[in-house]
Amino acid sequence: MRPSLPPMTERGADATLETDLLIIGAGPTGLYAAYYAGFRGLRVALVDSLPELGGQITAMYPEKAILDVAGFPSVKGRDLVAGLVDQAAAADPAYLLGRTALSLTQTPDAVVVGLDDGTSVRAGAMIITAGIGKFSPRPLPVGKEWIGRGLEFFVPSFEPYVGKEVVIVGGGDSAFDWAMHLEPIAKFVTLVHRRDAFRAHQRTVHMVRASSVRILTKAQITGIVGDSSIEAVEVTVDGQPPATMPCQALVAALGFIADLGPLQQWGLDVAKRHVVVDSSMRTNLSRVFAAGDITEYPGKVRLIAVGFGEAATAVNNAAVVIDPAAHIFPGHSSEGS
């Protein structure tokens, strides 16, 4: 396909980047859209606020087995993301990580998106694959200064927990999953939850209860003790005096605060914190498409598999906006193999 914009360039701070298709959000939907953009011969750039690729999967459940992605009876979150990144590599995407899309300006033949580091990206079309928005972990009421010194919000790999006394705070799926996975390798795992009911899957709760993990309910972390890193935590169970327990790794699995943030100021038709699209994944703004968890339409189901289909639809329709001579249907990928 003919390049519709000058070659992509980046010129340091306050750079202007030019591309055919800009994708906001490098979760599974955005990554698959990047592959598909390459298949359509489009130059593509992806922006994500997080420093890593993979969206919710990387941030929240990289070690979990996913059972409902077509073609994979069971795939670990991290492995699915690695496969998507490999597949997208064919498109040679420009990844702009650790940057948040703040502003949108429309011109007759392009969209221009301003990022929080001063970069502007000018594109023939864009696809918003921003999922649940920019998300940040819910903080632990005590201990902000211990982040990175023993206090973490994610468990992206288990290796750093080998032989440690681990305290996990929370009562949801992540807290119980991590407790279950760390129990065999840590010296000891304690799970602290401020209620006596859990939001996690019953099956996982039963498995953790049957393990050596100590579960403290109606309990909170009220203090952290240490020097350069955490050495102990103070736990207060309702109605009892605070108790100190040794701990070298504290995991706060308290959920996330998701925020659509700047996207809400762009003039998009938003319903219940989601972007309304039609059957071609078009939003109400010209040259702006959306796909994945962020979209809203009658019957919407928020699943990875659905996001993949929406990504293909969005890219193929965007291809025609970028080059009106192009066809929506790209042909089958197997025809070129």
Ligand X SMILES: Cc1cc2nc3c(=O)[nH]c(=O)nc-3n(C[C@H](O)[C@H](O)[C@H](O)COP(=O)(O)OP(=O)(O)OC[C@H]3O[C@@H](n4cnc5c(N)ncnc54)[C@H](O)[C@@H]3O)c2cc1C
Per-residue DSSP letters for 56-69?
HHHHH-TTSEE--B
Among 303, 309, 320, 330, binds ligand X (CB under 6 A): 303
Coil, strand or helix at 22: strand
**Stretch near ligand X under the rule CB under 6 A, chosen from 54-62, 268-276, 282-290, 316-324:** 54-62
Buried residues in 208-240 as b, exposed as e (16+ CB within 10 A): beeeebebbeebbbeebebeeebebbbbbeeee
Name which position in 17, 18, 55, 176 contacts ligand X (CB under 6 A): 55
70-129 binders of ligand X (CB under 6 A) = 100-101, 129
Instruction: Residue 3: name the closest of 35, 46, 47, 44 by CA.
Output: 44
Q: Does 150 bind ligand X (CB under 6 A)?
A: no
- Among 18, 152, 173, 323, which residue interacts with ligand X (rule: CB under 6 A)? 173
Question: Smaller CB distance to ligand X: residue 168 or 304?
Answer: 304
Q: Which is nearer to ligand X, 161 or 176 (CB)?
A: 176
Q: Which amino acid is at 3?
A: P
| In the complex, least distance from residue 200 CB atom to ligand X, rounded to whole angstroms | 10
Q: Please work out the total of residues on this chain that contact ligand X, with binding judged by CB under 6 A.
A: 37
Minimum Å distance from CB 290 to ligand X? 9
The DSSP 8-state label assigned to residue 227 in this structure reads: S
Across the strands, what pairs with 69?
72
- Backbone φ, ψ for residue 74 (5° rounding): -155, 125
Supply φ then ψ for residue 126, to 5 degrees.
Answer: -135, 155
CB 113 within 8 A of CB 120: yes
- Judged by beta carbon, residue 51 or residue 108, the one nearer ligand X is 51
Which residues contact residue 127 at a Cβ distance below 8 angstroms, ignoring those fewer than 6 apart?
A: 21, 22, 23, 24, 30, 33, 281, 289, 290, 291, 311, 314, 315, 318
Q: Are 121 and 23 in contact (CB under 8 A)?
A: no
Residue 82 · residue 74 · CB < 8 Å: no
Closer to ligand X by CB, 55 or 171: give it: 55
Binding string, residues 13-52; x marks residues near ligand X by CB under 6 A: -----------xxxxxxx----------------xxxx--
Q: What kind and span of H or E run contains 251?
A: strand 249-252
Q: Which residue's CB atom is positioned nearest to ligand X? A: 131
Specify the residue, 8 or 47, whose C-beta has the smaller distance to ligand X. Answer: 47
Binding mask 305-324 for ligand X (x = CB under 6 A): x-x-----------------
- H/E element, 81: helix 77-89
Query: Nearest approach, Cβ of 47 to ligand X (angstroms)?
Result: 5
Nearer residue to ligand X within complex by CB, 50 or 126? 50
Residues 239-278, interacting with ligand X (CB under 6 A): 261-263
Question: Least distance (Å) from ligand X to the CB of residue 226?
Answer: 30
Stretch of 211-219, 243-251, 298-306, 318-326 contacting ligand X, by CB under 6 A: 298-306
Nearer to ligand X, 247 or 263 (CB): 263
Q: Would you tell me which residues interact with ligand X (CB under 6 A)?
A: 24-30, 47-50, 55-57, 60-61, 66, 68, 100-101, 129-134, 173, 261-263, 292-293, 302-305, 307
